[in-house]
Amino acid sequence: MKLKDITSIIIYLSIFLSIFLINVSSARDTDKLKNSFIIIHQDGANGVKKLCDDNAIKYKFREDLTGIINGCSLIFENNNDIEKVKKLPGIIKCYPNNLHSEFRVLFSDDITGVANAQKINNLSGKGVKIAIIDNGVDYKHPALGGCFGTGCKISFGFDLVGSGDVYNPIPDNDPLETCNGHGTHITGIIAAEDKVFNFTGVAPKATIGMYRINVCNDATTDDLILKALQLAEAEKVDVINLSIGTPFASWSETPVSLAVSRLSNNGITVIVAAPNNGATGLFSSGSPDSSINVITVGSVENTKFLSYYLLTSCCTDRKIIYTTTQVTLRYNVNTLGPLKLVLSNNSSNPENDACSPLQGNFTGSYVLIRRGGCLFTPKNLNAEAAGALGVIFYNNDDTQPFALDVSGTNIPSAFISKADGEFLVGLILDPSNLGRSITVRFPNDTIVVTNLVSGLPSVSSSWGPTFEMDLKPDILAPGGRIFSTYPTFLNSYATLSGTSLSAAYASGVTALYIENLKIRGISSLKKNPKQIRDIFTYTSSPIKMTGFRMPYSTAKQGGGIVNIENAIKMTTLISPGRFALNDTVRANYTQTFTITNIGKQTVKYQMSHIPAVSVRGFFNNVLASQTNLIYDSFSSQVTFSTVKVTLRPQQTEKITITIKPPSQLKAKDLGLFSGYIGVKDCSTNQLHTIPYLGLKGDLSDIPVLSPLPGQPFVATFNGTHPQTDLVQSAVFTLANLGESNSDSPSLYYVLGFGSRRVQVTLINSQTNKEVGVIYDSTFLGRNGDVVGFDQHIFDWFGFIGNTLVPDGSYRFIIKILKTYGNFNRSRDVITWTSPKIIIDL
C-alpha cells in the first residue's frame, strides 16, 4: 500500500530503540562483520598490507583508516589468520569489526536558553561547520534547503555505503536518505528553517555535512564510522554529531571511542548520544558514548509536543492521544474510521492479554489489547491472524515508557495511556452500550499536548557510570517527543523520541556557543572541546527528582539540562568541570579545582554543596532494572579549603574539597552517591554546579559472570536460540557447518558486568591438556537483561586455527577477566569448565 500524498502531515512516532528489544536479542559472534578486523600498525594501512602480503595472508582491503587511527580494515579469507597477524612485527592492536545497529533515536527552547540565544543574542550557528554521521538526509526537503552541495544548507558529505550495503559498500558522493527518516529528523533539529510550521532548528545558519554510513535500518560497522570520522576531520569541521553505537559496551578503549577522543584532542567537538537503555538500570552506557573526551548527551522530556488523537463514537469531546510506529505510518491509521472497537476478551484487566491466539473472529474490527505478558509484536500478530484491521494497545503501568515497538506485522497499531485504555474498556463493557457498537476514528489532525513529565530525564535515557567509573552522561538535552523534519516521501514531518535527538540538539547548542566565542573574543575562552564540555556541564541546570528535594543522581543527568544562555553569559572559568571519584577502594576523595574570573569586574564567590539522591541498584548479585532501583536521601559531607573567595579580573584561585561518602550507604550494596559543588557568582547570582559521582564499596565485587541458575551452558547451534541444553555430555557430528541446522556446539553465557577480556580454550577431557584457544575478545559489554534472555553466544564449528579437530572428547574452558583485574593473575580471572563435548565426524 502506498502512502497517501498528504501535505504537511505529521506522523507521531515514538522510538525508544532497544527498550523492547532487550529481552529477545543476544550478542553472538555474528554481531561482528565476518572475518573482518580493524588493525593498527606503526606504519598505518600500508604497513598492514605489506605484512599480510609478505606472509602470504589472503585478504580483501576495506578502508584506509590511517588518518584516524593509523590503521585499516581488512576481510581475511580465513578468520583464523588474525591470530597470525597479531604476532607480526609493528602490529599495535587488532579489533573485530563490530556491527552497530542501535540509532539512538521545538517547544523546549525555553528550558535550554536557546530561544533567548537566538532572539536576544542573535546567534544562529553561522560560520560553524557540523558533520552528521547517520543514515543520510533528505536534502530535497524545503526546510533543509532543497539542495546538496556548494551554496546549500547541506553543503558537503559522502555516502560510504551507496547502492551497496555495509558488507559490500559501493560508495558515492550523494548522501541522500532513502528511507527510515532518522538522519533527516536530527538534521532538522540542528538546522531546519521551515516555512510550513514556522520553526527553526537550534542553529539554522550552520553549515551542515552528512556522512551516510548505513542503509535504512541496517547495522553499520566500526570501519565505516571511522572512515566517516576521518572524512569529517579532513573537511575541517567544528562539530561532529554521532548517534549510533553499541549498547552496554561501556568502554573508552574501543576503536571508535579512541578515534573520537583523538578528534576532541585535535579541536573538534564530538557530540555522542547516550544509549536508550535506561530501563535496564545502572551501568547502561555504551560505546562510543563512554569515550573520555566527548560530550555524551542523555535525554530530557520536551515541555509540549504535537500528537494525533483518536475519537470514540460516544464521546467526541474526549481526544485520546496516541503514539504509533513506522508500520502504522505506512498504512495511514489516521485516515481510517469509523471502525468498530472490540476487546480481545471480556476481562476488564486481562493478564497476558493476546499473548495467545485470539478466540473468535475479529474481521473488520480494531482490537483493544492491554500491554504486558509478552512483547507487542506477538500480540499484534495474533490480532492480525484473527482478522483484525488494527490494534489499539493501552498501557498497564504509566511508569513505563509511552512507546510502542512492533515489527513484522501487516496491520497498524496505536498505543494509548492506561487511563484512556481503561476508559475504553469501561465503554465497551458498560451494560447500557450492549447491542450497539463503539467505534473509533483517527482524524487527520494534531493537537498541542502538555507533557506531564516535562523537563524530567527520559525513562529510556541510559544511566552511567561507565565500567571504569567515569561520569556519564555529561549533560541532558531535549529528546523526548521532539518535532522536526522527516523525508518528503514519508510526509515531511514527525515527532520522535530518543537520545539521538538530544545529541542533535546539543550539536546545535555547540554551534551557537562556538559562534558566540568569535563575537566575545575573550582570549581565555577557546574552541577547546574539553573546555566546552566543562562549561556546558557546570552551567547546566540540575533537575530535582520527584518526591525528593534533591537533584537526580549525576549518573542519570550529569550536569543537568544544557543551558546555552548560561554558557554564553558566564564570566567564570572552572576546571575541571566534574569529578569522577571511582569506588571506595580506588577513590581519591580530596580534589582540587580552579576558579578564574574572566570578566571585567572584581567578583565575590561563595562555595556550597548540593547533595543529590543516592541510588542502590545491585541486589542478589545482579544489577537491578530501573524500576527496581532504590533511591535514598543519603548525602555526602563536603568540606572546603575556603567557602568564600574574591577574584580580580583574570585572577585564579585553587579550591580544595574533601568528600566523605554517605555513612548510611553500605559497601556491600555498591550504591552510587553524587551531588554538585556550587560556585556562586555573587555579583550576578549565577550558580555554577560541578557534578561529582562515586561508588560506596569495591566495584570488583560485582560478579562479572552472572550467577543466574543454569548459566553458562553449551547447546546445539541453530543460528538463533538453543535447542537442547547440555547436562553431562553430548555428541556433535559437525554436519552442516555454519547453517541454521548445524550440528555443532554453542557456548551461552551472561555477563553481569563488562569484561576487558574473555577467552575460550579447548581442552582434551581425557588428559586435561589444552588443545588451543578458540575465542579471545576484548572490551565486552554486559548483558542488558538481568533474567538471562540476553546472552553472549560463541559458536564453535570445530576448528583450531585452520585445522578441524579430530574425533575425541573435549571441554570448553571460559576465562573472564574481573573488573580492574590482570588476566595473568589467576585470582582476577573467573573460570568455568563445560561438560564433555564429544566430536564424532
Cβ contacts of residue 166 below 8 Å, gap of 6+? Answer: 33, 99, 213, 214, 215, 218, 219, 220, 221, 224
Residue 336: alpha-carbon gap to chain centroid? 35
User: Catalytic residue positions?
Assistant: 134, 182, 500
Cβ contacts of residue 68 below 8 Å, gap of 6+? Answer: 226, 227, 229, 230, 233, 259, 262, 263
DSSP class of 149: S
Would you say 769 and 781 are in contact if contact means Cβ atoms under 8 Å apart?
A: no
Residue length of the chain: 841
Which segments of 238-386 are extended strands (E)?
239-242, 244-245, 269-273, 295-301, 304-312, 320-321, 323-324, 339-343, 365-370
Distance between CA 104 and CA 288 in Å, rounded? Answer: 12
Helix (H, G, I), strand (E, B) or coil at 240: strand
Packing angle, helices 529-538 and 255-265, rounded to 10: 90
Distance between CA 235 and CA 129 in Å, rounded? Answer: 9
Q: What share of the chain is helix, strand, coil (3-state, %, to 5)?
A: 20, 35, 45
Cβ contacts of residue 207 below 8 Å, gap of 6+? Answer: 127, 128, 129, 130, 153, 155, 156
Distance between CA 414 and CA 325 in Å, rounded? Answer: 7
* Cα torsion 271, 275, 276, 279: sign: negative
Distance between CA 16 and CA 722 in Å, rounded? Answer: 28
DSSP annotation string for 678-714? EEEETTTTEEEEEEEEEESS-GGGS-SB---TT-SEE
Distance between CA 282 and CA 572 in Å, rounded? Answer: 33
Would you say 535 and 577 are in contact if contact means Cβ atoms under 8 Å apart?
A: yes
- Selection from 155, 41, 143 nearest residue 93 by Cα: 41
Distance between CA 750 and CA 737 in Å, rounded? Answer: 25
- Selection from 484, 632, 459 nearest residue 550 by Cα: 632
Distance between CA 625 and CA 280 in Å, rounded? Answer: 4
Distance between CA 790 and CA 780 in Å, rounded? Answer: 14
Side-by-side strand order, sheet with 482-485? 10-12, 493-496, 482-485
Cell readout for 391 is: 490494534
Q: What are phi and psi of 669, to 5 degrees?
A: -80, -15
Q: What is the radius of gyration, based on Cα positions, of the chain?
A: 27
Q: Amino acid letter at 751?
A: L
Q: What are phi and psi of 257, to 5 degrees?
A: -60, -45
Distance between CA 154 and CA 113 in Å, rounded? Answer: 26
Would you say 331 and 412 are in contact if contact means Cβ atoms under 8 Å apart?
A: yes
* Cα torsion 829, 832, 833, 839: sign: negative
Q: What are phi and psi of 258, to 5 degrees?
A: -65, -40
- The total of other beta-carbon atoms located within 10 Å of residue 129's CB is 21
Q: If you count DSSP H runs as helices and E runs as strands, how many of each does the chain have, helices first?
A: 15, 51
Distance between CA 411 and CA 765 in Å, rounded? Answer: 53
